A and B are shown apart, each in its own frame.
Chain A
Amino acid sequence: MRRVNLYHDKRAQWAVYVVFFGILAIIPLSMDDPFTMNQYSRYGVFAMLALSVSLVWGFGGILSLGQGIAFGMAAYGMGATMQMQYQDPVNDPIPSFMLTNELEVLPTIWEPFWHTHLGLILAIGIPVLFFVIFGILMFQARIAGAFVAIMTLAMLGAWYNMAYDMQPYTAGFNGISPPSAFVAFGVEVDPYSNLIYWVSLGVLCVLTLATKALLQTKFGTIVQAIRDDPERARFLGYNVAYYQIVLFALAGLIAALAGLVWVMITQFVSPTSLDIFFSITMVIWAAVGGRMSLFGAIFGAMFINAAQSYVGDEFQATWFIILGAVFIIVVRFAPKGLAGLFEYVFGFIPYRVRGTSGARGDAHSASE
């Protein structure tokens, strides 16, 4: 008999996910409030973003402050797709904001968005491709640590300005507000409905479980090894840059899917999706919840946003100061965030497994 921390038991972890998503899934059944459902759907998107930060930073050691790039690009792609679902090829082929910007024909880059499937593929594919290229540029050159943070932040700023300045194509500061809800397979995804909530939660659930499964493969162990000591990994024969590029792109994929769902919920996309402050906030959610725990990061995003809406509008300025202070305290004194607190508490719970080297012994791990 050997004592281990229940927190590290992989079966217990999976059980927690099942219970967690199970409870969240039945929430709409107990209330009939479309506005709350819309609000909760947004939390689902924030949780996806925290998940993406946890994967790339907590597990991969890559402090990306540019997750908003993938989020924003996908959001614009989705905005364009929904806008063109509304337009009519014969009677009304050009979105009204373009007309006010004196465009007489639909720009070529908007053409593919006539087709919903193609639009969705581009909305996800382009940001992921961008992350691959950006990743190659950074990681082949062995850029690491704070330099990655600075470069991703600068890149995010560049995209923000582009979205802002290219007014005829992006509607600039005003943003694009597709007049009708997204329609998939003939079903309208009403942003104020139980359906939108289940879509958001469903995407979050699939992404979380897929990421968790990925981290349990050898790939998952290797990226954590690279986080701990890239040099050591290199001399074991791993192409560190290759792994970092793949991980960065996967995190970009998650953030892109978040952007896609976001526009379904809000029917609106503007440069604020590429706002620098927003991307930094994602990192705070993950840090406070626990960047080295997927569950912690998701919980952090939901918890902080719920708390923020609870304190109300008049305290928003103070709220950001508090959030900033909490972030500094967490980074300095509790690098594992709330999840680390749970890990500590669970250490006191007597829990034993049979045998010293059985299958369950293998389940013990420092990782999520």
Chain B
Amino acid sequence: MAVILDLQDVTKAYDEYKVVDGFNFQVEEGELRCLLGPNGAGKTTTIDLITGRQKATSGTIMFKGRDITGQREDKIAKQGVGRKFQVPAVFKELTVRENFQVAFSKNTDPFHNMIRLGRRDGRERLRQVVEIVGLQERLEEQGGNLSHGETQWLEIGMVLTQNPQLLLMDEPTAGMTEQETQQTSEIFNRLKGEHTLVVVEHDMAFVREIADVITLMHLGKTLAEGPMEIVENDPKVREVYLGTEGITDAA
């Protein structure tokens, strides 16, 4: 399998303080990678760097063999990188249906979109996505009226509507009930293979459900990488989480 995302020696520094510190990170096509690490490890910052929200201090970021370092957010998104925010972000005044319509962003030219009727666009994709994330009954509801879990699903659904090759999910199950988390892991297992996913997570039960390989980040660097059992038993990992029962309590 080909490497789809490749971070080479990526550093992000605020003054002296390196939030991401010479980070190397490779993800293969079709893989579901979990990115773990204690709070402040630099996970969200890493996603910011990949998606262009922040500019790297040094290093290169390659996507599908192309250098995307420092490009503008929308240009990176258009190349096939989708992102779910840590704090769920949906369009609150729009209906769920309209949220999906906006997410169907094949053509982003304003003048082109002046001659398209919003509600016609991407109907087929909407059907497919709703089949995956649910929300059938909620299509006419305002985005701002959804429950927390539903908001998370809507945003996941929006990112799916884009149909990106690479999906970056920042804490998709945060604030979800156990049952909602279960449903979410089913969604992710369906996506695996067809899409490449990088999932930042705290919920270890969830990680066990979905992950093939996990990368453990600490102080902006890779601390350990590999299948769950190996990372879990790594002495370096135990040291970082001293006094706890391993990474299970990382959250």
Q: Which residues of A contact B (CB under 8 A)?
A: 4, 214, 216-222, 224-225, 227-229, 231-240, 242-243, 246, 292, 357, 361-362, 364-367
Contacts and interface: CB of A to CB of B under 8 A. Distances in A.
Given A4-B140, A227-B93, A235-B83, A221 B118 contact: yes
A225 B77 contact: no
A218 B98 CA distance: 9
B78 A237 contact: yes
Given A214-B114, A232-B85, A235-B83, A366 B93 contact: yes
B162 A236 contact: yes
Contact of B94 (A216, A228, A234, A238): A228
A359 B98 CA distance: 14
Given A218-B116, A361-B140, A366-B93, A243 B105 contact: no
A213 B111 CA distance: 14
Interface string B43-75: 000000001010000000000000000001110
Interface of A is mostly: helix
B229 to A, nearest CB: 34
10 contacts: A218-B101, A220-B118, A221-B94, A225-B98, A225-B99, A225-B102, A235-B51, A236-B102, A357-B139, A366-B142
Contact of B77 (A234, A242, A361, A364): A234
Interface residues of B, number: 41
B116 A246 contact: no
B83 A217 contact: no
B168 to A, nearest CB: 9
Given A235-B73, A237-B77, A237-B78, A222 B97 contact: no
B158 interface: yes
A234 B74 contact: yes
Given A233-B102, A236-B105, A217 B117 contact: yes
Contacts of B103: 236
B91 interface: yes
A218 B215 CA distance: 40
Contacts of A361: 140
